[in-house]
Amino acid sequence: LLNGGDGSGPVAPEAVVAALQQMDIDFVFTAHPTQVMRQGRLSKCNEIRTIMRRLSSPDLAHTERLDLLEKLQLQVHLCWRTDSLRLKPPSPQEEQRSLLSYVPRSIFPAVPVLLRRLDAALVRVGLPKLPLTASPFRFSSWMGGDRDGNPNVTAIVTKEAVLAARITAATLLFEAVQELMSSLSLRDATPEFKALVIASDGRLERRFGDHQAIAKMRRGRGDSQFFAP
């Protein structure tokens, strides 16, 4: 990391940190016309892979192994009875739903793991971690937005795609915050953290009203639907 790669000699640690802080990688997802594998079949294959991974654990109890084998048999049977290919081309909304199904189980859990590994690599060579405000990775999608190349993508389709993506992202973040609230049992915090909470409360009140209005909205709509339009 510090020796360069073009034969120009060592790179200053400060330059490495500055480059990483400015890094902005945008992963753009798109759908291909040959993407005809049904989402139900893909989900069952993923479940089979998960069960097989759990079966390889040497710490499984006998009853746990029997339960997993029964689940494996069921998933194989369902997969065998599920058509592999779509009978008609997917709509733009179906293409995006297929993409969004991967976000909770693959993309969302992988990003923090990658960032922690990047921080660990920096610490090993004596460099500071990335600041909490750093966002080196972004995710975009053509699905539902290729208005110049797909006649089926209308303004309404694009609006639905944007809302679905925003709701998915907000729901995942909200669930992560709820899990964090349940796991953190500390009774005190640093002054800096308290200042952040106060600032956040102020932004919520300016957008949704006071605490009573926010609580009423959450009770009426449910936590998981709090960010739905």
Can you give the length of the chain in residues? 229
Range 33-50 average pLDDT? 75
pLDDT of residue 229: 41
DSSP class of residue 87 equals S
From CA 99, how far away is CA 163, in angstroms rounded?
A: 14
Residues in Cβ contact with 3 at an 8 Å cutoff, skipping those fewer than 6 apart: 9, 10, 11
**Three-class SS of residue 103?**
helix
Q: What is the pLDDT of residue 2?
A: 53
For residue 133, which phi and psi values (nearest 5 degrees)? -85, -5
Q: What digits encode the pLDDT tens for the residues 188-225?
A: 888 888 888 778 777 767 776 666 766 676 666 655 55
Number of Cβ within 10 Å of residue 184's Cβ equals 8
* Rg of the chain (C-alpha set): 23
Residue ranges in 13-152 assigned as alpha helix (H): 13-22, 39-55, 62-81, 92-102, 108-124
Strand partners, 27: 139
Phi, psi of 117 (to 5 degrees): -65, -35
The pLDDT assigned to 36 comes to 59
CB 112, CB 179: distance < 8 Å: no
- The model's pLDDT over 21-41, given as tens digits with 9 standing for 90+, comes to 888 999 888 776 555 567 777
Angle, CA of 146, 173 and 221, to the nearest 5° = 95
31 by Cβ neighbours in 10 Å (0-12 / 13-18 / 19+) ranks as buried
In this predicted structure, what is the pLDDT of residue 76? 92
18 by DSSP, 3-state: which?
helix
Average confidence (pLDDT) over 100-129:
88
pTM tops 0.75: no
34 backbone dihedrals φ, ψ, rounded to 5°: -85, 5
- Whether the CB-CB separation of 25 and 139 falls below 8 Å is answered with no
Give residue 220's pLDDT: 67
Is the separation of the CB atoms in 139 and 27 below 8 Å?
yes
> What is residue 100's predicted lDDT score, i.e. its pLDDT?
83
